[in-house]
Structure 1
């Protein structure tokens, strides 16, 4: 693919602010203790659609259905401000959502989706300048369409945003929304008295306890890439991971273990190689009288493991998957999430962050966090002119910890799409020693 896949122009046709069809009375919505674990980060997501006629009608439909969707999902139309304690809080004031209508002088098949930093990041996913949520709808010169969104991670995790995207699509087709969101923060209240376990001090750390950044120490930039993984490769990793008398491992655990061992080949042998996994706590807390499946907000924990690189690279994959399962299992109970809520309460108003996002110990090597995007509803984000041919999250968050998010392919054939935000040395090992598993995303695979 030539440079045209990234070197094309995007022009703005119109900018609007879309407000909720039924604005709410101004009120404050506190963040839960689990929301407070997130620093100020914006997350992108985008969907690509093949040729669709009547652009003006499509864009007007999107605006109208967005206004309707913002009524039940009203926090997305608000703003985040600081309360008297310096903590973020949601002001639900019906500010609205910035909506950009744009045109890109490029064909869908020519967009280089393997290099999204150059082709997607500032062209199809909007820069959120204010508010909680922003949208950009971009027409392509082939008749295709790209819908990009940016949201504040402090307000929503990927599960919550998936819920909203599906509801927005359902409303655009005049269907009732399948999930009505709940913002009942009392469901995540701390216990009284607080019950604290020392485990949380190993997984999370107050920001105030971290040393100030040293500007004289150079940092290496992280780079975004998107790959596809064939279903046969995923199944093969799962089979290898389950050898030597091990129980059958999940596909996500198997892929995580494979990445962890690949990563160790880039590291100084004496340094630890760290791998974390994002765990959604909804199912763990679902024993409450009200189900958590419609809770809108963050219910996440990030357990991690660390192994000296020399040891890790010599392990069989089945042994590495055992390590992954072991560190994930500490965060798969209701008590874990209840304890985490209590731990944050104890530290407030000091903000804390997942420890894997930091380098504290002298032998701390590089780190990667894997987030499960298997619930990514790419097939369900159909606004009335057909399903997306491609969709992905995009999270170039700017830190020094890598981020990987596997998602189902829009082909619905068991393949995965994997977004990676990693150091260049890690991407090089992915594309050399990991080339039988990870294939650079291209228009041939996507059948654009």
Structure 2
């Protein structure tokens, strides 16, 4: 199957899809259904993208190597080769059918990796990360004139979180490079099963009820424009934020506090409050013995805070960071995760949604809102398919929620710098780019070393 490729707004073709094939597990899968857990069911039907740039893979077909390794890896990670279907109650669940993963092979029409303007993902990354049309996951392998390759993946967030997909990436890379296979994932839902069938009144007044809401009671998110950017944040700026946030505050809490205040500065007069959420992983909260370290699925909650915009603008960073720490710590407990599992059980089969995603304040008012999800565990150094670590890597998540979405992750340089994916209102991006520190432009030389400046002629 051949596509005409992706086009810029001026109609010029940028990437051309030359081949699409479906890679199935190397061993047959006995077809069966795998229910999504209650923690999977709090996720809306959205796809997440991630991509890796390799400046100098060896000669030969990178796509062939990747597809052969993918077939092997899908034996253990068979849910990624399945489909999401509806059960008798209308809820989503996994059909583990072995249908496979669609892999597109593409060429970048004479461009070089150095031409990529990755800081503007709408012009670049959008063409390198596949649009998933079927199944749970899809892959695109794009080859450049210089010999460089970009590997882009898209996966259904209802099936797994970033932690789980990171496990898959490491296993896939190990299969391609001939390295030792990491521990196999497991899919048993016992750790995230409800403790008992709770009555609705047993879940009222809980933190879970404050953070999530049934769809029928959720106010529609306000219609908002969004801009997508990828920035770099120097290690020194991360350290400075942490120092200003005061003792006992993590780097992520300090960064989130700073980001919250930037959103307050960008808020319009009608946005009288400003909301900030943080995605919290519950694996070590539910089991401190490491028993969930290989669990594949979603184990997330999304606490958030809302503060009057004018108040937030005038607060010291340490006070804002203290507020972030308070509501994150409140949710980062095993009791809350068990409570959330029970609360979802009481709502089923009605879908639920995190309030932090809705772009509203505590009282349902329009708010300047954002959610931060840490990608700092992205294993950039381990996604080596046999031709070295990537020159650059990032998530890509231009999602449709009412809140913005910001995801910091480690730079592949390994020097403490961060790469930050930003999906936010244009006025927030304007404030970010106006400040003299923290959010810095992503230059080609930072990613691929010194050389000619990007031409920009292809918009990528």
TM bucket, shorter chain: over 0.9
Distance (Å, rounded) in 1 between the aligned partners of 2:359 and 2:142: 39
Give matches, 1:355-394, under 5 Å.
355-359=355-359, 361=363, 363-394=365-396
Q: Per-residue deviation at 1:211?
A: 4.4
Q: Aligned partners of 1:220 and 1:339: how far apart in 2?
A: 33
CA offsets per residue over residues 341-390 of structure 1, 9 Å max, x none?
A: 00000000000000011256453312100001110011110000111000
For each residue in 1:239-290, what CA deviation from the matched residue of structure 2 results, as whole angstroms up to 9, or x when unmatched?
A: 1111xxxx331101000000001110122467110000000000101147x7
What residue number does 2:338 align with?
338
Selected match of 1:16 from 21, 36, 43: 21
Report the Cα offset of residue 7 of structure 1.
6.5
1:155–1:193 distance in 2 versus 1, CA, 3 Å: closer
Runs of 5+ unmatched residues, structure 2: 1-7, 450-460
Residues 18-37 of structure 1 correspond to what in structure 2 (within 5 A)? 18-37=23-42
TM-score, L = length of structure 2: 0.91
Aligned residues: 433
Residues 1:302 and 2:302 are matched in the alignment: yes
**C-alpha offsets along residues 213-260 of structure 1, whole Å, 9 cap, x if unaligned?**
7xxx8x332121000000000001111111xxxx33110100000000
SS at match of 1:265: helix
Q: Secondary structure at the match of 1:61?
A: helix
Counterpart residue number, 1:134? 138
Q: Which residue of 2 aligns with 1:118?
A: 123
1:44 maps to 2:49: yes
Q: 1:231 aligns with which of 229, 235, 239?
A: 235
Q: Which residue is equivalent to 2:3?
A: none
RMSD over equivalenced CA pairs, Å = 1.8
Deviations 1:270-317 (A, max 9, x none): 7110000000000101147x7001000000000000000100010010
1:256-405 superposed matches below 5 A? 256-268=256-268, 271-287=272-288, 291-359=291-359, 361=363, 363-405=365-407
| Correspondence 1:201 to 2:209 | yes
Q: Which residue of 1 aligns with 2:248?
A: 248
User: 2-side partners of 1:212 and 1:376: how far apart?
Assistant: 32
Tell me the SS of whatever aligns to 1:305: strand
SS in 2 for 1:187: helix
Aligned: 1:87 with 2:91:
yes
- Secondary structure in structure 2 of the residue aligned to 1:138: strand
- The 2-side partners of 1:252 and 1:447 are apart by 27
Offset at residue 165 of structure 1 (A): 0.3
Structure 2 residue matching 1:440: 3-state secondary structure: coil
CA contact under 8 A between 1:13 and 1:101: conserved in structure 2? yes
Aligned to 1:421: 423
Cα offsets for 1:133-157 (capped at 9, x unmatched) = 0001110011100000000000010
Q: Which moved more, 1:180-189 or 1:78-87?
A: 180-189
**SS at structure 1 position matched to 2:284:** coil
Write the deviation string for residues 181-228 of structure 1: whole angstroms up to 9, x where unpaired: 010012211012536352222110111113467xxx8x3321210000
Q: Report if aligned partners of 1:268, 1:309 keep a CA contact under 8 Å in 2.
A: no
Is the 1:222–1:400 Cα contact (8 Å) retained in structure 2?
no
By how many angstroms is 1:175 displaced? 2.3
Contact 2:207 2:336 in 1 (8 A): no
Say if 1:114 and 1:226, in contact at 8 Å, map to a contact too. Answer: yes
Q: 1:7 to 1:315 in 2, by over 3 A?
A: farther
Tell me how far 1:20 sits from its aligned partner. 0.2
Match of 1:96 in 2: 100
Q: Deviations over 1:379-435 (max 9, x none)?
A: 1100001110000001001222100000000000000000000010000000002x3
Deviations along 1:58-97, whole A, 9 cap, x unmatched? 2211111000000000000000000010100100000000
The answer to whether the Cα contact below 8 Å between 2:359 and 2:402 also exists between their aligned partners in 1 is no
Match of 1:220 among 224, 228, 231: 224
2:140–2:153: 8 Å Cα contact kept in structure 1?
yes
Q: TM-score, normalised by structure 1?
A: 0.93
Is structure 2 residue 149 aligned with structure 1 residue 145?
yes
- Write the distance in 2 (CA, Å) between the matches of 1:222 and 1:308: 22
Contact 1:8–1:104 (CA under 8 A) maintained in structure 2: no
